Structure 1
Amino acid sequence: MTSLNIVGGGRLGKSVARLAHDSGRYHIGALLCRSQASALAARDFVGAGVALTALADLPAAGITLLAVPDGEIAGVAAALATAGVIAAGSVVCHASGVGEAALLAPLAVQGVHCASLHPAFSFADPARAVAGFAGARCALEGDAAALPLLQGLAADIGGVPFVLAPGGKAAYHAALSIASNYLVTLHDLAARVATQAGMADEVAAAVLGGLMRQTLDNTLALGPAAALTGPIARGDAGTVAKHRAVLSAQDDALYCALGAATARLAATRLTAAQQQALAAALAPPAV
């Protein structure tokens, strides 16, 4: 049975520890937090482990997960290296979405296998996270010697692990942010414009929500180029001009930026004349 320490008893740390404990394949060694109260609360949630507050008291473990805020990872790694409590040949990983395994460099120098494990999953509530984690994708990168053990951990807690290319962490996190955050921004833009048509909020939510869900299903099934529909995909510069005429300056700037990217996506199905017309229709207003 693999031993697992968790440094940081927040939502992610508690959830991963509980999932690992419930799998029956891991011995939870320590749950380390800033305060004893937090450590005890984490232990009670997990149902196993020793509540600790001092890095120097960490027991030996096959895997140590640093579930601390991104800005604290490097400092905790340095403190662990100074404390000398992580054995060479063991694995230490952090759970940052954008940070590389290089944040753990002080430990790597000591022969520790360093990596990162980032579940592409929301841990807003630990109890809900534990109940719904199955099938969550988990991104791994770092020391090749650490990856088999972490692939096993991700799979044992119900996740689906995949390995990123070296140096690919920032691009990975940017992709997630675009897919998640910018989808929300697009919804906000569409809803704001819908009010100009006199659509009540509940009507706009139903119309836009249904269309966005259908479009997302289509692009995931068919790919972006094949799923694209609408005036730009048809080369309809006249309709684009009518859209722009009713938009505020702020919304028009967003519309044009997205329109130019959409025109590039549709380029293979458009004639040269259509592409030129769309470029003119999407050009910034003259000053």
Structure 2
Amino acid sequence: MLTLNIIGAGRLGKTLAKLAQRSGQYRIGAVVCRSLPAAQQACAFIGAGQPCASVQALPAANLTLLAVPDGAIASVAAELAASGTLAAGSVAFHASGVGEAALLAPLAAAGVHCASLHPAFSFAEPARAAQGFAGTRCALEGDAAAFPVLRDFAHAIGGVPFDLAPGGKAAYHAALSIASNYLVTLHDLAARVAAQAGMADEVAAAVLGGLMRQTLENTLALGPQAALTGPIARGDAGTVARHRAVLLTADDALYCALGRATATLAADRLDAVTQTMLAQALQPVLRAE
């Protein structure tokens, strides 16, 4: 049975440790928090572990997870390297979405196999997260020597691991942010414009929600180009102009930016004249409210 140390038992750290403990394939070693009471509470949730308030007291382990905030990963790695508590040949990994394994460079210099494992999952509440984690995709990046151990770890906690290209971490995280955050922004934009039409909030939520769900299913099943519908896909510059006439300046700027990207996506089905008309219809114009 492999031993897992946890440094930083916040929502993610506690959840992954709980899942590892539950798998029966890992023994939880040290659980390090800023204070001993916090570490004790984390161990109580995990159901195992030795509460610690310092990395100096870490026992030997096969894997060490640095589940600290992104801004603290490099400094904690340096502290661990200086203490000499991680053995050469063991695996250290962090779970930052955008940070690369290079944040653990001081440990790599000491012979530790360093990588990052990022679960594409929201850890809002540990107990709930532990119940719903199964099937979560987990991105691996860093020292390839750490990958077999981390793939096994991901599978044991219910995840589905996949490898990122070297240097691909920032693009990976940007893709997740676009897919998640910007979808919410689009919903907000659509809801504001729906309010201009006099739609009650509950009606707008039902209409927009149903359409967004259907569209998401279509684009995932068919691909973006095949799933695209609407006035821009048809080359209907007149409808685009009517839309823009009712939009506030800030919303119009968003509409035009998204419209130009949509026109590019639809270019294969539009002739040159239609593409030109759409481009003209989507030119941003400064105007008073």
- TM class, shorter-chain normalised? over 0.9
- Residue matched to 2:224: 224
What one-letter code is carried by the residue in structure 1 that aligns with 2:74? A
SS of the residue corresponding to residue 96 of structure 2 reads coil
What displacement does 1:286 show?
6.4
- Residue matched to 1:29: 29
Matched ranges for 1:127-276 at <5 A = 127-276=127-276
- Residue matched to 2:123: 123
Distance in 1 (CA, whole Å) between partners of 2:286 and 2:3 is 65
Matched, 1:44 2:44: yes
Matched, 1:278 2:278: yes
SS of the residue corresponding to residue 144 of structure 2 reads coil
Distance in 1 (CA, whole Å) between partners of 2:232 and 2:155 is 43
Residue deviations 1:178-226, cap 9 Å, x none?
0000000000000000001000000000000000000000000000000
Distance in 1 (CA, whole Å) between partners of 2:248 and 2:54 is 56
In structure 2, stretches of 5+ residues that fail to align are: none
Distance in 2 (CA, whole Å) between partners of 1:285 and 1:61 is 61
TM-score normalised by structure 2 residue count: 0.99
What one-letter code is carried by the residue in structure 1 that aligns with 2:228? L
What displacement does 1:285 show?
1.7
Q: CA RMSD in A?
A: 0.7
Whether the 8 Å CA contact 2:232–2:240 is kept in 1: the answer is: yes
Residue deviations 1:126-162, cap 9 Å, x none?
0000000000010000001001100110010000000
What displacement does 1:66 show?
0.3
Residue deviations 1:231-278, cap 9 Å, x none?
000000000000000000000000000000000000000010110000
SS of the residue corresponding to residue 145 of structure 2 reads coil
- Residue matched to 1:57: 57
Distance in 1 (CA, whole Å) between partners of 2:285 and 2:68 is 47
In structure 1, stretches of 5+ residues that fail to align are: none
TM-score normalised by structure 1 residue count: 0.99
What one-letter code is carried by the residue in structure 1 that aligns with 2:160? V
Number of equivalences: 287
What one-letter code is carried by the residue in structure 2 that aligns with 1:62? N
Residue deviations 1:65-105, cap 9 Å, x none?
00000000000000000111000000000010000000000
SS of the residue corresponding to residue 141 of structure 2 reads strand
Distance in 2 (CA, whole Å) between partners of 1:115 and 1:134 is 22
What displacement does 1:54 show?
1.1
| 4+ aligned runs moved over 3 Å, structure 1 | none
SS of the residue corresponding to residue 64 of structure 1 reads strand
Distance in 2 (CA, whole Å) between partners of 1:10 and 1:29 is 16
- Residue matched to 2:86: 86
Distance in 2 (CA, whole Å) between partners of 1:54 and 1:69 is 16
What one-letter code is carried by the residue in structure 2 that aligns with 1:71? G
